[in-house]
Structure 1
Amino acid sequence: MTQPQFRDMMGVFGRIGLISFGGPAGQISLMHEEIVEKRGWVDEGQYLRALNLCHLLPGPEAQQLATWIGWRLHGLRGGLAAGLLFVLPGALVILGLSILYAYAADLQWFAALFLGIKAAVLAIVAQALIRIGRRALDTRFKRLLAAASFVALFLLDLPFPLVVLGSGVLGMIVAASRPDWLGAHAKHGGASMAAPPASRRTLVVGTIRAVLGWLLVWAAPMLAILLLLGPDHVLWRIGSFFSQLAIVTFGGAYAVLAYMAQEAVQSHHWLSAGEMADGLGLAETTPGPLIMVTQFVGFLGAFRAPDPFSPLAAGMIGAALTTWVTFAPCFLWIFALAPWMERLERAPRLQGGLAALTAAVVGVIANLALWFALHVLFRAVGEGRFGPLRLYLPDWQSFDWRAGLLGVAAAILLFRFKLGVLPLLGIAAGAGLLLSV
């Protein structure tokens, strides 16, 4: 392995931040090519082990992996630089697109463009469901767990954190007695990460300092809002909601999008279901983590309840606050746990919890896919109760044939012709405009 200069590392991660399209799979592959294959700054075994452990943590695993690489190469300042450069380009692009969306959403041509984008998003989410399902559901127990998580969310309306964290706990219990149910026979390849030359006491003290320091960083803007605007202001509600979300975003962005979308639309009324699909489409077209769609939600929520600020100022504060409370915890997890990674990686119960959690994520994404499909394809979707079951009741007369046609066409382009995400979204947006005209 070679030790790069700090400026060289900054240059590489600046480039990665600008071209990291394609969701976590594409971003992880890009970092592997740039860091492991081309430059040899981190070896294969270290990279894979760090990636495995980033899957154990809440938050976007690609951004956490970038932070870990920076920490590995240049300590605290390296982790901060790599993590921020991975996020900032996409955050600035999403902010600009959110401003454009807020002022142009009532224009007919703009709505027509997003008709196609929303239809394409349906195909993209379906593809994510199939890919993750094929990889994750390799035992009967995992398939049952995925089905149970779908039923719990879509039909029983159970809280998302309960379903996800409960699945992880169940996996830890099963790993102790029936590890074969979780397919716990995989072997990790590559060389072991070298343990830091420090005693256990030194590691514990360092971890406590990192946790306390980053908890203060995480909480600082929320404390300022509480003192200046009070707990009833929309900015406090936005910050509180996305702070809670940051703790339970296991399994990547798609896993938490259903919970975020339903809460933002149905509980907080910050935006409509169609606008939520628009936001996901925007996030798909920009570099950086897909979870950046949270910034779009935070911008619109504050933009529409701006007092005492102007709408634009409130929206920008809401976007910045959302990004802060979403990504600050990622630095906390990495800086606190990176020195312990080798020990954690060898804990079989934690690995069992991760395997069960990943299986449950498939059910979560299925819930997201069906929820989005109903709200994109039908202009009116009601809700009803049948005993303990929560049922979505679409108005069949409100079916949008244009969205249905565009969704089928997008699926054919994506699955049959393997078209990339960006060309797919561009074609779908143009087709939506043509159909509307």
Structure 2
Amino acid sequence: MEFGVNASTPSFSELVRTFARIGCLSFGGPAGQIALMHREVVEERGWVSEEQYLHALNFCHFLPGPEAQQLATWIGWKLHGWRGGLAAGLLFVIPGALVILGLSMLYAAAARLDWFAALFLGIKAAVLALVVQALLRIAGRALDTRFKQGLAVAAFAALALLALPFPLVVLGAGALGFIVAALRPDWLALKPIAAGAPLPPRPWAASLRAVLVWGAVWVAPLVLVLVTLGRDHVLWQVATFFSQLAVVTFGGAYAVLAYMAQEAVGTLGWLGTGEMADGLGLAETTPGPLILVTQFVGYLAAFRAPEPFSPLVAGVLGAALTTWVTFAPCFLWIFTFAPWIERLERSARLKGALAAITAAVVGVIASLTLWFAGHLLFRQFDAARSADLPFELPVWSSFDGRAALLAGLGAVLLLRLKWGVLPVLGVTASAGLLLAQF
């Protein structure tokens, strides 16, 4: 699976033009983005074969981080090595990152206005419907055995009822899947690994170079922040938190959001509960991976504790730093492990770990759905009654009928009428503004 020039290999400039276009049109979450790349790269141009594309997609599912962006990076690496991977991966991210930065600035400036709150009440209602849709889709695809269903239930209980850390739940599921794949592969519905052609030599040297180079790229801004601002500054907290997140972000943005909410809202106090849903709503309206919601969180965290900078400068630095430590690891994973893709495809235990993680992610998203629903539909939570519990209890009299009505509208449009994401967001946001008049 080494890259190489053949009859269907594009020039570097053609690769750049194509991925610049993909980066500007990659709406609709990972499913839509993967379909768009398939049409552009496999069907229309024939740059990679169907088999290579599917193998690479399976490989990207093994890795933490946004699989669509990593797939774009792999395509660039396959066609033009490191230079191609860097160009394709960056062009997939940069358009959406710039749009999210602009929207984050607008949000921070206008968040206290009544009309803005009404607008985002509608957007949050649509986000709840989107999370429910993601839950149903992933559950329908992933929970095909009783064991996987049990893993999903256990992950939900661990997060929603016991408040266990997200990394512990996901990595624990992966370790369990690794073991079960060797002992009872039928519990995970694993297919037998077909024998293939002789494997190429192990590419240790290329992988070691990638680890050293991209490890340094990843760490460089952390060192700069540590030396200039110290451990107590919010930018250091942002850099270390999102670097940690980059290692455990299995399951996509919806799964990661549960962990971000747990830490950024509850532990670090960077933003409020409703603002997290607002951020995902912004990410849903822009091109690029949904994980760009992290940039919104990083912007608000630095904007609200800006010293010694102005709020605007601090926010931009926080957003840029967050994006750097979120996506630099993606290049590290791809450039380190892409030469091993054939070997990884033939590892039953790794397939078992991935299947178990995917099942656990269903429970993670279910806990996120419950969290979203609670903070959308209720304005207050009972601190006294929740003090001795690992979860919050709502004040039932604070039920928000407008939010419930908007969430119902979003669910009908998205789940029943099968509308697209952008039309649903537009309708629910407009309905939120309309209801505010009454």
TM-score, length-normalised on structure 1?
Answer: 0.96
Match of 2:265 in 1: 265
- 1:69, 1:259 → 2: CA distance? 30
- Verify the 8 A CA contact 2:193 2:348 in the aligned structure 1: no
* Distance change (3 Å), C-alpha of 1:186 and 1:120: farther
- Verify the 8 A CA contact 2:151 2:356 in the aligned structure 1: yes
The match for 2:117 among 94, 111, 116 is 111
- Verify the 8 A CA contact 1:66 1:82 in the aligned structure 2: yes
Match of 1:48 in 2: 54
- 1:340, 1:316 → 2: CA distance? 37
1:335-363 alpha-carbon deviations (Å, 9 max, x no partner): 01111110111010000000000000000
- Verify the 8 A CA contact 1:20 1:288 in the aligned structure 2: yes
Aligned residues: 431
- Verify the 8 A CA contact 1:384 1:392 in the aligned structure 2: no
- Verify the 8 A CA contact 2:154 2:363 in the aligned structure 1: yes
Residue correspondence of structure 1 range 348-387 to structure 2 within 5 A: 348-382=348-382
1:283 offset after TM fit, Å? Answer: 0.3
* Distance change (3 Å), C-alpha of 1:436 and 1:193: farther
Quick one: which amino acid aligns to residue 211 of structure 1? Answer: V
Residue correspondence of structure 1 range 65-144 to structure 2 within 5 A: 65-144=71-150
1:400 offset after TM fit, Å? Answer: 1.0
- Verify the 8 A CA contact 2:19 2:88 in the aligned structure 1: yes
- 1:391, 1:238 → 2: CA distance? 25
Match of 2:330 in 1: 330
1:205 offset after TM fit, Å? Answer: 1.5
1:66-105 alpha-carbon deviations (Å, 9 max, x no partner): 0000000000000000000000000000000000000011
- Verify the 8 A CA contact 2:170 2:360 in the aligned structure 1: yes
* Distance change (3 Å), C-alpha of 1:316 and 1:414: same
Match of 2:179 in 1: 173
Match of 1:303 in 2: 303
- Verify the 8 A CA contact 1:218 1:325 in the aligned structure 2: yes
- 2:360, 2:257 → 1: CA distance? 14
**Range with greater deviation from structure 2 (369-378 or 385-394):** 385-394
Paired residue secondary structure (1:393): coil
Match of 1:58 in 2: 64
Match of 1:27 in 2: 33
- Verify the 8 A CA contact 1:384 1:390 in the aligned structure 2: no
- 1:303, 1:387 → 2: CA distance? 30
Match of 2:237 in 1: 237
- Verify the 8 A CA contact 1:123 1:410 in the aligned structure 2: yes
- Verify the 8 A CA contact 2:173 2:356 in the aligned structure 1: yes
Quick one: which amino acid aligns to residue 162 of structure 1? Answer: L
- Verify the 8 A CA contact 2:156 2:366 in the aligned structure 1: yes
1:283-330 alpha-carbon deviations (Å, 9 max, x no partner): 000000000000000000000000000000000000000000000000
- 1:195, 1:311 → 2: CA distance? 54
- Verify the 8 A CA contact 1:45 1:192 in the aligned structure 2: no
* Distance change (3 Å), C-alpha of 1:166 and 1:259: same
- 1:193, 1:408 → 2: CA distance? 53
- Verify the 8 A CA contact 2:386 2:392 in the aligned structure 1: no
Match of 1:150 in 2: 156
Paired residue secondary structure (1:405): helix
Match of 1:293 in 2: 293
1:207 offset after TM fit, Å? Answer: 0.9
1:380-435 alpha-carbon deviations (Å, 9 max, x no partner): 12457899952320011111111000000110111111010000001111000000
Quick one: which amino acid aligns to residue 270 of structure 1? Answer: W
- 1:230, 1:425 → 2: CA distance? 41
- Verify the 8 A CA contact 1:210 1:332 in the aligned structure 2: yes
Match of 1:426 in 2: 426
Quick one: which amino acid aligns to residue 14 of structure 2? Answer: D
Quick one: which amino acid aligns to residue 167 of structure 1? Answer: A
Match of 1:395 in 2: 395
1:125-161 alpha-carbon deviations (Å, 9 max, x no partner): 0000000000000000000000000000110111111
1:209 offset after TM fit, Å? Answer: 1.2
- Verify the 8 A CA contact 2:163 2:391 in the aligned structure 1: no
Paired residue secondary structure (1:79): helix
1:226 offset after TM fit, Å? Answer: 0.3
- 2:329, 2:399 → 1: CA distance? 41
Match of 2:206 in 1: 206
- 1:195, 1:292 → 2: CA distance? 37
* Moved segments of 4+, more than 3 Å: 191-196, 382-389
Quick one: which amino acid aligns to residue 69 of structure 1? Answer: I
RMSD over aligned CA atoms reads 1.7
Match of 1:339 in 2: 339
Quick one: which amino acid aligns to residue 423 of structure 1? Answer: P
- 2:301, 2:129 → 1: CA distance? 27
- Verify the 8 A CA contact 1:129 1:365 in the aligned structure 2: yes
Identity of aligned residues (%): 69
* Distance change (3 Å), C-alpha of 1:291 and 1:192: farther
**Range with greater deviation from structure 2 (318-327 or 258-267):** 258-267
Gaps of 5+ in 2: 1-6
* Distance change (3 Å), C-alpha of 1:193 and 1:17: farther
